[in-house]
A and B are shown apart, each in its own frame.
Chain A
Amino acid sequence: MSQTVVEVDNLSLEFLSPAGNLMALKGVSLEISKGEIVGIVGESGSGKSVTAMNLLQLLPKTKINIPSGSVSVLNKNVTEMTEEQLQVLRGAEISMIFQEPMTALNPVLKVKDQINDILFRHKKISPKEAEEISIGLLRDMKITDPFRVYESFPHELSGGMRQRVMIAMAFSCSPKLIIADEPTTALDVTVQAQILSLLKERAKKTETSVLLITHDLAVVAQLCDRVYVMYKGEFVEEGKTNQVIGSATHPYTKALLNSLPEGKTPKSRLATIEDSLTETAKESIPENKTISSINSHEIILEIINGSIEYPKDYNIFGAPISFHKAVDQVTLSLEEGKTFSLVGESGCGKTSLANSIVGLNQLSNGEIKYKGINIKDQPPEVRREIQIVFQDPQSSLDPRWPVWKIMTEPLTAEQTPTYKELRIKASELCEMVGLEPQFIDRLPHEFSGGQRQRIAIGRALSVRPKLLVLDEPTSALDVSVQAQILNLLLDLQSEFNLSYFFISHDVAVVKHISDMVAVMYQSKVVEMGEAIEVLTSPKHEYTKNLMSSVPTLEIKQ
């Protein structure tokens, strides 16, 4: 175990750009021993992927500058190796698993070709031997029909299956080190659990070192022997996983742990990084003040036997002949001022249902009642009381519109307010969602992800809604930003008595924010009830499986 596989010493790295160079790494030192699983945890832009890519020298050489430090992998100084020497190293001695299984595999090549390419490149073997090795690897990845997968194109496989293929590719030449860059971030939580255990099992069995890069402390807790915490290009804390998570010493690590909804009182305020890093801010934040909502018990939204079908095949005249059921006979109801959450994996029909509430698609069967009346019979000014916030604030805001125009667009649907009125309204909305009012002339790309989500929420609030449909509003955000947005949502709820229809795949977030929860699986609601009850003592098989798959900070040894 004492053999060192990776040794990074006091490495600094800057990205060159005409607008000014950007220091991505500031004096980073890292060590990985043989067979060790080491994690680097940090938020987006903290430099964790850069650290990993630099081990394989995969960064464009013309665009970076390394003022100090050395990187040695397997006792070879990789910074001084030529491209040809590196090509021998890559895939054979060190291999990498990437985040997005959807885009990380070449869409026009079969799985067979992609694995064999690596094998042929590094080993002198016949095609027959290559096939044997590949099938064996796929079987080791617990793929039940390895021959079908071997002959498949990536698009014919599910996300989890593709990630298994990625891992098989990474292990194909028995490397000494595997770098896994957010290997499970894009996957459903049940699949994530399988993939993580596969990775750990295989690495321990073959004594392969693993460098795991993630933003998720819980994943680190499940997998890693040691962890480095990265913040703004520096390792701020380093140590055995249980030490770092159990008794963090650096304020950033503490802040990161505090911003996680897991284990906190539901509906309490979550600490954000800014709170924890600035002492003064601490006093102004009411600690663990539980926000209570007014209990009117009035039902604001009801879905009765709602089904949504999408046409699958068409006849000659373009009329659909067979359908895919996205939502199957869902019945649920939401009380005013409460939060109703819908949990489920991707493709289970959550978003289809959310879109049907705001009229972006139509139910094929059943009805949606708003305030006791079928939503189609409600006049437009009542229907306007339902607004939606989408998942990805990067793409859901028009990049060419200034903030004031984005935020006040809903107001111009029926009336024609003056330019001045709209700008005043936009400033008010900015204050409401915690943005500086003087930013209203800026464009979306000038804001961070969290600020953009605030803009999206401000836009939804512009018409004074009663019900907000929130479709994964925090899943594209860092945990500390997620904490800010969740705090904001809870504040707005208590201030305006808003009702939330909240959609998420993240059980910890749902547990934190919800009153009621419904678990959706394969287009059907399989379990529904009080949030605490459903999520702590699940009845249905799928919910149980889901709850046991969620990685937690508890360390299993």
Chain B
Amino acid sequence: MSSASEVNNNKIDKSLNKANLIGPFIPFIQQLTRLLVLLFMVTTLLFFMLRLAGDPALVLAGNDASPEQLAAIRAQYGLDKPLLIQYFNYMLNLLQGDFGRSLASGEPAMGKVLTMLPATLLIAGLAMLISILIAIPLGAWLGFKPERPDRRAVSGIIFVFQGVPGFVTALIFIQVFAVNLRLLPSLGMEWGTIEYINLFSNLSIPIPIPSKTWILPSCSLAWFLMPSLTRVVAANTSEAMREDYIRTARAGGASGKSVLWRHALPNALLGAAALIGTQFAFLMGGAVITETIFAWPGIGWLLIESTQTLDFPVVQALAFCIAILVFIVNAITELSFQFLDPRLRSKGN
């Protein structure tokens, strides 16, 4: 009996040693595997779904093209081959980093996306920042004493905000701030004085210098996230206020301020951080609407345009980029969880 258990122990010891060697990298490898699976599925699904959407040759050739012209265009872009062959060719090119060329303009698809990406990242980042800056103090204030009449009224207003579609708020913003008050521009984008610097030969990165044109698009986009985030912070705060450790803090003589900011809010933010991660994908959807309304030259606008012209390579490259972005934001959220919650920190170790 004892020898058997010894053998068993040895086995466990050995496997433990093995685990220690690769142990620290396990989360990283797991994340990477997940990302690769995600990208494979996104590209594959989108490839076949886009082929269902229509024939790009018809769009390219125009309405009064003859069958011969159509056939020539199909042959030129490789659209005459069987679908599976097209798929394998596409995936092979993808593995070499080649996303194909735009059907509309002939530029490299990924290059086109990457030049538009910073504009979207700018308003998405600003929108998130605005949402967080409003939602945390407002949510904390609402959740601290939710039964007060003033808090109830504000909660009601936020609830209504949450129900208003994003494009309606965007149009109201334009009407009020651009048309009536003439305070802010409602169309286009300016980067400030310096427009671009060339980082590589074909990829240029703009330098963001605050410009009035950013304000309305990012505020409208923030509207997609802010109400729900405020409500989550408020709900979590009022829940945390009912916890036993709040009673402990009060029994130790803590003032109302200290109870809220030091004891309740850090716990309440754990739930809010999770929401930010999941809502980022939603924010990208919001970017499509916002950029179209404000003629903002970002990837949301590009997505609408390339879908309308059935520009498959560009749509594919866009989806690829957005998938990676959503993935990165979620990974950051997970990390921030470990920063906020000590219980997860020690688990990670």
A: which residues have CB within 8 A of B?
A: 56, 58, 62, 83-84, 87-92, 95-96, 98, 100, 103-110, 117-118, 121-122, 153, 155-156, 166, 169, 313, 315-316, 321-323
Contact = CB atoms under 8 A, between A and B. Distances in A.
B326 interface: no
Interface string B239-265: 000011101111111111010001100
Nearest to A102: B244
B168 interface: no
B248 A98 contact: yes
B84 interface: no
A58 B247 contact: yes
Contacts of A91: 251-254
Given A98-B244, A108-B266, A117 B252 contact: yes
B252 A118 contact: yes
B295 to A, nearest CB: 45
Contacts of A83: 256
A96 B16 contact: no
Nearest to A153: B342
Contacts of A107: 245, 267, 341-343
B342 A90 contact: no
B19 A315 contact: yes
A56 B254 CA distance: 13
B22 interface: yes
B245 A58 contact: no
A89 B12 CA distance: 56
A56 B16 CA distance: 52
B253 A322 contact: no
B80 to A, nearest CB: 43
A278 to B, nearest CB: 37
Given A315-B15, A315-B19, 4 more contacts: A90-B253, A107-B245, A107-B267, A321-B15
For chain A, what secondary structure do more than half of its interface residues adopt (helix, strand, loop), or is it mixed?
mixed
B3 interface: no
Contacts of B340: 108
B22 A316 contact: yes
* A62, A92, A316, most chain B CB atoms within 10 A: A316
B26 A104 contact: no
Given A118-B252, A316-B29, A98 B346 contact: no
Contact of A106 (B15, B26, B251, B263): B263
A88 B255 CA distance: 9
A106 B249 contact: yes
A91 B252 CA distance: 4
B267 to A, nearest CB: 6
B343 A155 contact: yes
A323 B244 CA distance: 34
A495 B266 CA distance: 56
B30 interface: yes
B251 A95 contact: yes
Contact of A153 (B19, B267, B343): B343
A103 B248 CA distance: 10
B342 A321 contact: no
A100 B19 CA distance: 37
A546 to B, nearest CB: 27
A87 B266 CA distance: 22
Contacts, number: 99
B243 A103 contact: yes
B245 A122 contact: no
A122 B256 CA distance: 16
B244 A87 contact: no
Nearest to B263: A106
Contact of B342 (A108, A122, A315): A108
Contacts of A313: 16, 19
B87 to A, nearest CB: 29
B26 A315 contact: yes
Contacts of A89: 253
B247 A121 contact: no
A322 B16 contact: yes
Nearest to A313: B19
B266 A92 contact: no
16 contacts: A58-B250, A62-B147, A83-B256, A84-B255, A90-B250, A96-B248, A98-B248, A103-B245, A104-B247, A117-B249, A117-B262, A118-B252, A118-B253, A121-B253, A153-B342, A316-B29
Contacts of B15: 315, 321-322
A322 B263 contact: no
Contacts of A103: 243-245
A104 B266 contact: no
Contacts of B247: 58, 98, 104
Interface string B328-346: 0000000000001111001
Contacts of B267: 106-108
A95 B254 CA distance: 12
Contacts of B147: 62
Contacts of B22: 316
Contacts of A323: 12
A336 B23 CA distance: 50
A433 B112 CA distance: 75
A40 B105 CA distance: 84
Given A107-B342, A315-B19, A321-B19, A58 B251 contact: yes
Contacts of A62: 147
A512 B249 CA distance: 41
B115 to A, nearest CB: 38
B252 A106 contact: no
A417 to B, nearest CB: 42
A321 B15 CA distance: 6
A155 B343 CA distance: 7
Nearest to A92: B253
Contacts of B251: 56, 58, 90-91, 95-96, 98
Contacts of B29: 316
A323 B15 CA distance: 11
A122 B253 contact: yes
B9 to A, nearest CB: 11
Nearest to B26: A316
Given A108-B266, A108-B340, A121 B252 contact: yes
A257 B323 CA distance: 67
* B19, B147, B248, B250, most chain A CB atoms within 10 A: B248
Contact of B244 (A100, A121, A153, A321): A100
Interface string B38-50: 0000000000000
A105 B245 contact: yes
Interface in B132-149: 147
A315 B147 CA distance: 49
A91 B341 CA distance: 27
Contacts of B244: 98, 100, 103-104
A480 to B, nearest CB: 26
Contact of B252 (A108, A169, A315): A169
Interface string B1-41: 00000000000100110110010001001100000000000
* B26, B247, B253, B340, most chain A CB atoms within 10 A: B253
A106 B253 contact: no
